[in-house]
Amino acid sequence: MTGRLNAGGSGGKIKTGRGGEFVIEDHEDTLIIGLTGPTGAGKSTAGKLFSDRGAVVLDADEIARDTIDGSPECLADLVLEYSTEIITAEGTLNRKKLAKLCFSDKEKLERLNEITYPHIVQNVEEKIEAACGTAPFVVLDAPTLYEAGLHERCDTVVAVLAGEETRCQRIMARDGMTEEDARLRISAQKKDDFYLARAGHILRNDGDTDALRLSFIELWGLLEQALREKSEPPEPAPQAALPAGDDAPEKEDAPEQETPPEDPIENEIENPTNEVPLA
């Protein structure tokens, strides 16, 4: 497990919602942590470890489903794009119909994301704001954290990674997939380098749960340190001392005093020019 404090996050600054519609205030007593990683790496297991230690864990996928199903504004935008064909007789979203329209067409899928992301992000921000102050850590569990721009709402990001073979076996056992389908799913996702270059902390999960728990304890300590650094006011910057020695600024030369003009009479007395020659 490696850790790099406050990398890829907001650094504790005010976090502004997309389009300026909502703002997450800066809470010094809460660290907002993004939790992400590819499928099969063990992100959900890590989320449970956070929850068991008292952190508030927000599931971005669950929030997204609730937003698309329950937001009248989001539903209205979808109807404007795809017509009432995606509405059931009861006036709710027909998810199967929407999926049939979009998931077989890359451009329509991208358009679907463009429509729903602002609504989802605003809902996520509202839930983060409500959770801040209730626990030292608020964890946003989001597999597409970076793609949705949600990492900008976090103080730091934890990425859970595991080897491809380990992930393949886990996906097959969890979802009942064939090995071929599991590998196709893995190949469609971001590679480890994507997370290594962006995440503040990397949690390796190639072993069993006990090994993950040990790594998590170390990670927890790093996050507690980050929270202390966020909560403590910054020390005033020391005033720069004047350089000494060769680096000292050269003193300006005092202006030369002008020599007063000589008095011709006095000069004549001291240095006579018309001496009488001796006989």
Could you tell me the CATH number of the domain that includes residue 34? 3.40.50.300
What pLDDT, on the 0 to 100 scale, is given for residue 102? 84
DSSP letters along 70-106, please? H-HHHHHHHHHHH-GGGB-TTSSB-HHHHHHHHTT-H
pLDDT tens string 30-88: 999 999 999 999 999 999 999 999 999 999 999 999 998 888 999 999 999 989 999 99
DSSP 5-40: TT-SS-TT--EEPGGGS-EE---TT-EEEEEE--TT
Residue 197 lies in a domain: yes
Q: Residue 118 domain-assigned?
A: yes
How much is the average pLDDT of 15-27? 48
Return the higher-pLDDT residue of 209 and 234.
209
Residue 267 within any structural domain of the chain: no
pLDDT class for 256, splitting at 50, 70, 90? low
243 domain residue, yes or no = no
Query: What's residue 275's pLDDT?
Result: 45
Please report whether residue 237 resides in a domain: no
Q: Do the domain assignments include residue 57?
A: yes
Q: What confidence category does residue 14 fall into, taking pLDDT thresholds of 50, 70 and 90?
A: very low
Which of 217, 226, 218, 46 has its CA nearest to residue 136?
A: 226
pLDDT at 23: 47
- Say if strands 137-141 and 56-59 run parallel, antiparallel, or are unpaired: parallel
Examine residue 154 and state whether it is found in any structural domain, yes or no.
Answer: yes
- Domain encompassing residue 191: 2-231
| pLDDT tens column, 180-197 | 999 999 998 899 999 999
For residue 250, pLDDT beyond 70: no
Q: Has residue 153 been placed in a domain? A: yes
Alpha-helical segments (H) within 71-208: 72-82, 95-102, 106-131, 164-175, 179-187, 192-196
pLDDT digits (tens, 9 = 90+) for 122-159: 999 999 999 999 999 999 999 999 988 899 999 999 99
Identify the band that residue 116 occupies on the pLDDT scale cut at 50, 70 and 90. Answer: very high
What's the pLDDT at 70? 86
Provide the pLDDT confidence category of residue 276 given band limits of 50, 70 and 90: very low
Map residue 157 onto helix, strand or coil: strand
When divided into structural domains, the chain yields a total of: 1
Whether 19 shows a pLDDT value over 90: the answer reads: no
- pLDDT > 50? residue 10: no
